[in-house]
Structure 1
Amino acid sequence: MKIAHFSDLHYSPERLDEADHCFGFAVEDAIARNARVAVISGDSTDHRLDAHSPALNALARRVHRLAAAMPVIMLQGTFSHEPPGTLDNFALMGSANTVFVADRIQQVAFANGGFLASAGPVFSEKELALVIAMRSDAVFTCLPTINKGQFAASVGALAAATDLGDVLGTYLAASGTVNAQLREAGIATVGISHGTVVGCETEHGVTMAGFDHEFSLSALFDAQCSAFLLGHIHKHQSWESDGRRIAYPGSIGRFHFGEQGEKGYLLWDVDTQSASAELVATPARRMVCIDFDGPPDMERLATLAAASGDAFVRIRWQIDEEHRQAVDRGAIEAMFAHAPGVKLEPRILPVVRSRAQGISLETSVEAKLVRWCGLASVESPPLLQRLQMLETGDAGSIADAVLDELEGATEAVALSLVQTAATDVEACSKPSLAVAAASTDWLEGDLFAA
């Protein structure tokens, strides 16, 4: 049986273009490939949406279009993305086929083009007999997002991190007992959930580690499902054991910078003993990240701008606070004017100034100033004199003293220039003693001697 598996659509006003463009492509592709059932494994919306929101209207149209071609199961996702009750209206949007909303832990049989849900978490013996007698095409074990706040309130905050995985593991093992009987009866078994598997990778290539993840791979395989359809992680990845497969399709589009891999939906082929899945890529937008350790290299940016095409661009650099104005943001934006979106993220490095060593040990301002002068090789008396003026004088008297000091310095300079000039003139005009003596010798001789 072919199942079209979509997840993490994240419809919102901010992401409407990307989400609707990619989900619209996936819906039409799944219809063209003759999928029997469609599954949306959580986070159809990005946050609470008003009834008149264009994003909600666009999502409703796509789900209605999908339901016209095949039955649809919509799983409750993360409460911050899909507040409880968000999916209730989608159950009314079916047309030729039903839209089933799985908002509690349950098993759901698909037979004769419709769905039959268990009264409890798993089918009872009586319900199981009916499901087998109906020759159901498949049984879905639905495990929507668990309210961790309520769970923590019931078992305690310290135990919640590890006990949740144990509780879900116990349920999966119990459902595995039922699913094993269904597989023996020739009915395909499929699991659907929204959560984190230990050891999975995020869309940025980071391995998820910790104690608060919902599932381990062994617990999921204990459910005895030929296929386990997961949501929540935005990167496509899968695991296989004895022909049975667990997989995330990833988000339908690219919503963040730095996301790795292709975006798309999974087209499953499921039977009673095994399953396979093909990732069908959607026309997700390209996102280019450009990072500089220092100021941006404008020549390199110009080269990258010519090759970026219609990609969304993010440029990061780091620069000292004193030189932040040296980067021409307008020129960078002009280079990428053809791009549908440009995001500039400078990292400003603050200037760190250290205090003079030992200055905090001094008890008075005068002593601190003397300490600083000694470390900075500055004469302290003039600074101490001015510090005393600040402490004892008012603004007017300080200004007068400064002006008087400036005037006195000007007069002293002028007088020194005059005295130097006079000395130079006197030295030039007064004859020397030798010259004077030589010029008076003729007075002592006989002017009329023969």
Structure 2
Amino acid sequence: MIRVAHFSDLHYGHKTLAEADRCFGAAIDHAIGAGVEVAVISGDSTDHALDLHAPAALRLLAQVRRLADHCPVLMLQGTFSHEPPGTLGAFRLLGARHAIYVAERIEQVALSTQGQWLPSAGWCFDALPDRTAALFSCIPTVNKATVAAVVGGVAAAAEVGEQLTALLRGFAPMHRSARAGGAPTIGVSHGTVFGSLSEHGVPMAGFDHEFTSGALFDAEAQAFMLGHIHKHQAWTRESAVGRQCIAYPGSIGRFHFGEEGAKGFLLWEVEANSARCHLVQTPARRTVDIVFEGRPDVNALRDAVRAQGLAGASVRVRWTVAEEDQSAVDRAALQAALAEAAEVKLEGRIVPVVRTRAAGISQLRELADKVSRWAEVADVRAEPLIACLASMRSQSPEAIAEGVLQRDGVDQPHVDFAVSTTNRIAERFTASAR
């Protein structure tokens, strides 16, 4: 049996450094304390291209060096947009107590009983190397653009899946050989399994995903350690080759709002005929979403702060308001209500006012005809509007306002204010109708 610490999607970058380093550092501490014999990082160690002198790059190098001082480390090439090709080359030069192997091509790598990495010359071994402690089959991120250039953009997605399925089956004979010799067999890849769930709970269903669980099981490796999806999930199968397990550890930390599930890394126990893993949680940040259907209520927000205890949490407040009400949102008050939160993100969605043009309205001479035409387009009753228009023509603004307000029992100061306001509205209305 071999004990493996499986990390993935560290996403070290300028904005993610604090979260990534806190969580990865805690994970390494736990892995060392658990006495793991080998560590796997299955892609996306960085969040984007990093300068070598950048704080995020230096912290990542230091943490991987600390891990490699304890046990051999295998690092897999991840998504090109996060981890540009060549990014991992510097890790080969760290000079830790144990070797760091960087897998940037499709290949098999044997870990010897002396802790050395022995790579295959081609995509797989012709024969298992002597003194193999564990066999790793590596499939880094596939460049779909290269496939599309050969077979065309439409056929590229299906072609990638078909070729990877054939490749996985091609690994099976060597896995059988290793199993017969008592060596654990482990697959490592970075990609999407059809039917897996994203960190936001969205099923990953489509023709452009690299793997199916069935194709991964057909490789006949006992363990398949995956990266790319940020939500921990696993699949198991009992078959003639023993107990097989496929798993994503998920991202090491919580890098976005709305992510579901716990964050951490996987501790594996892999034998020649079985594999099992369990998630070890990291101290990922707490994120909370507070959503208002209309204008955000500061008092309701304060109640939520008291009820949920949001001190130290990252809070996102979302709301939806009409275009004319957007200036009524007091962002400063919202920030003040969340003063104890570690991070506050305010996201307002503005619903624009949609105005429907009434074709031909400018050609009508009478105002009543224009109102009728507008009512027809706006799908409202024209009669009450025409009646109001007639009142405005036959009565003075003062008489209209006094009649309405006195009927409702409004006191004289409010009547005077309403009369003056009605006068201004009438003047503008008359001017616009000319």
Q: TM-score normalised by the shorter chain: which range applies? A: 0.7 to 0.9
Q: Distance in 1 between matches of 2:365 and 2:195?
A: 61
Is 2:85 aligned against 1:84? yes
The 3-state SS of whatever aligns with 2:132 is coil
Q: 1:336 aligned to 2:338?
A: yes
Q: 1:165 aligns with which of 150, 161, 164?
A: 161
Percent identity, please: 52
1:317 corresponds to which letter in structure 2?
W
Once the two structures are superposed, the pairs formed by residues 204-223 of structure 1 within 5 Å of their partners are 204-223=200-219
Matched residue, 2:131: 135
2:107 matched residue in structure 1: 106
Aligned residues of 2:292 and 2:318 also touching (Cα < 8 A): yes
Q: Displacement of 1:373 after TM fit?
A: 4.7
Q: Does 1:246 align with 2:246?
A: yes
CA drift of 1:353 comes to: 2.6
Q: 1:138: Cα distance to partner?
A: 0.2
Question: Could you say what secondary structure the match of 1:171 adopts?
Answer: helix
Question: In the alignment, what sits opposite 1:185?
Answer: 181
Number of the residue aligned with 1:309: 311
* Corresponding position: 1:95 with 2:91: no
Q: Equivalences for 1:37-436 in 2 at 5 Å?
A: 37-111=38-112, 112-125=114-127, 128=128, 131=129, 134-242=130-238, 243-306=243-306, 307-356=309-358, 360-361=359-360, 365=363, 371-375=369-373, 377=386
Q: Per-residue deviation at 1:352?
A: 2.1
> How far apart are 1:211 and its partner, in Å?
0.3
Shift of 1:232: 0.1
| TM-score normalized by the length of structure 1 | 0.80
Alpha-carbon separation, structure 2, partners of 1:218 and 1:54: 41
Residue 300 of structure 1: CA displacement?
A: 1.9
Output the amino acid matched with 1:208: M
Q: Normalization by structure 2: what TM-score?
A: 0.83
Supply the RMSD in Å over aligned alpha carbons: 1.7
Q: Which runs of 5+ in 1 are unaligned?
A: 383-405, 407-450
**2:310–2:340 contact (8 Å) kept in structure 1:** no
**Contact 2:3-2:268 at 8 Å conserved across structures:** yes
CA shift, 1:286, in A, is 0.1
Task: Report the CA distance between 1:29 and its aligned residue.
Answer: 0.8
Q: CA deviation at 1:274?
A: 0.6
1:368 to 1:270, Cα distance in 2 relative to 1, 3 A: farther
| 1:65-120 Cα distance to aligned partner (Å, 9 max, x none) | 00100000000000000000000011111310011000000000000111000001
In 1, distance between residues paired with 2:25 and 2:83?
20
Contact 2:364/2:370, CA 8 A, preserved across alignment = no
In 2, the alpha carbon distance for the partners of 1:61 and 1:135 equals 31
Please tell me the residue identity of whatever aligns with 2:78: G
On the 8 A contact 1:135/1:187 being kept in 2, the answer is no
Aligned to 1:440: none
